[in-house]
Structure 1
Amino acid sequence: MEQLPCPGCGAVNRVPTGRLADRPTCGRCKSPLFTGRALQLDEAGFRLHRDRGTLPLLVDFWAQWCGPCRAMAPAFEAAAAELEPRIRLAKVDIDAAPALAAALGIQSVPTMLLLKGGREVDRVSGALSLPQIRAFAGRAL
């Protein structure tokens, strides 16, 4: 059984692991729990998905002014479409969540954190290609 925070309303949904690929919807708002896109999270959203979600979480910490971040964005979106529902991909804008970035020790962007069970498993800084993102995410699967 997996616990999945809803990308729309934040309600935590319980979904049998074997049913993740069946396009589950939120019990409260009826929104899809998987969108095939990376979630855009603020600090509260990050904490909700880290602390209450049971799927591995791959988070791209980025900034609008960062050229390598913008260059990597299409590959990260493609990875989200490919890797769901086995792993949740999300993005956090460090300019919108500077306290979170500081608390997590994000010193350069792009930086990706891989979390499993609410704990950091690995991190990497610098722009990655789609095959590199796949390989990095595979460490949590």
Structure 2
Amino acid sequence: MVSSLHVVCPHCTAVNRIPEERLTAGPKCGKCGRLLFAGKPIDLSQANFQKHLQKNEIPFLVDFWAPWCGPCKMMGPAFAEAATQLEPRLRLGKVNTEVEQNLGAELNIRSIPTMVLFLNGVEKARQSGAMNSAGIIQWVQGHLR
């Protein structure tokens, strides 16, 4: 029996069912036809956050940041680099807490940058403070063992 996973399209938010062995084969969205994984974090908003959280059956790593935050600016490229190595086994997203203040408040984000790792819609781990890409990858892999 082939095991499949639900993956939310980063472009149109359609939920796609992908055979697990095809995750690394460049799967495309059945609705919009675009790649489900582009090797970069997606921008998250109040409108699409819950769908990605609840419907993705792959781990979901979110960076909460703000444009005025120096450490956030330093970590941004590292988070993007980590996405190139962690996708498609993980969905990575970014929440601008300046724009999405309610989302930050709902999740009790008290300092930025803060990364939150979700598994099956539930918070698995949280880390505040800037990290380099190797540190991000190591932190994620440590929590998914």
Question: TM-score normalised to the size of structure 2?
Answer: 0.95
2:99 aligned with 1:96, yes or no?
A: yes
Q: Deviations over 1:24-61 (max 9, x none)?
A: 00001101000110011112221111011111001000
Aligned to 1:76: 79
Output aligned runs, 1:1-141, within 5 Å.
1-138=4-141, 139-140=143-144
Further displaced range: 40-49 or 77-86: 40-49
Paired with 1:63 and 1:96, the residues of 2 have a C-alpha distance of 8
Structure 2: which amino acid aligns with 1:26?
C
Structure 1: which amino acid aligns with 2:96?
D
Structure 1: which amino acid aligns with 2:106?
A
SS in 1 for 2:116: strand
Following superposition, the deviation at residue 69 of structure 1 comes to 0.3
8 Å Cα contact 1:114-1:140 kept in structure 2: no
Paired with 2:18 and 2:122, the residues of 1 have a C-alpha distance of 21
Q: Deviations over 1:108-131 (max 9, x none)?
A: 100000000100000000001111
State the identity %: 45
Structure 1: which amino acid aligns with 2:84?
A
Question: TM-score normalised to the size of structure 1?
Answer: 0.97
Paired with 1:131 and 1:36, the residues of 2 have a C-alpha distance of 16
Number of aligned pairs? 141
Structure 2: which amino acid aligns with 1:92?
V
Following superposition, the deviation at residue 135 of structure 1 comes to 1.2
SS in 1 for 2:63: strand
